[in-house]
Amino acid sequence: MDIIKIQGTDDTPTVILDVQNDIFQISGRSLPEDVSAFYDPILEWLREFAESSHDKMTFGFKLEYFNTASSKLILDILLKLEDMFENGKEVQVKWYYPEDDEDMEEAGEEYADIVDVPFEQIPYED
Whether the per-residue pLDDT at 71 is higher than 90: the answer is: yes
Q: Is 116 helix (H, G, I), strand (E, B) or coil?
A: coil
Q: Model pTM?
A: 0.96
What is residue 61's predicted lDDT score, i.e. its pLDDT?
A: 98
Which residue range is the domain that position 8 belongs to? 4-124
CATH number reported for the structural domain that contains residue 20 in this entry: 3.30.750
Answer yes or no: are the C-beta atoms of 42 and 1 closer than 8 Å. Answer: no
Span 60-78, average pLDDT:
98
Q: Determine the pLDDT at residue 12.
A: 98
Per-residue model confidence (pLDDT) at position 1? 87
* pLDDT tops 90 at residue 5: yes
DSSP codes of every residue in 65-104: EE-HHHHHHHHHHHHHHHHHHHTT-EEEEEEEEETT-HHH
Number of domains in the chain: 1
What is the chain's Cα-based Rg? 14
% of the chain at pLDDT higher than 90: 98
Distance of CA 78 to the CA centre of its chain: 7
Predicted confidence at residue 126, as pLDDT, reads 77
CA diameter of the chain: 39
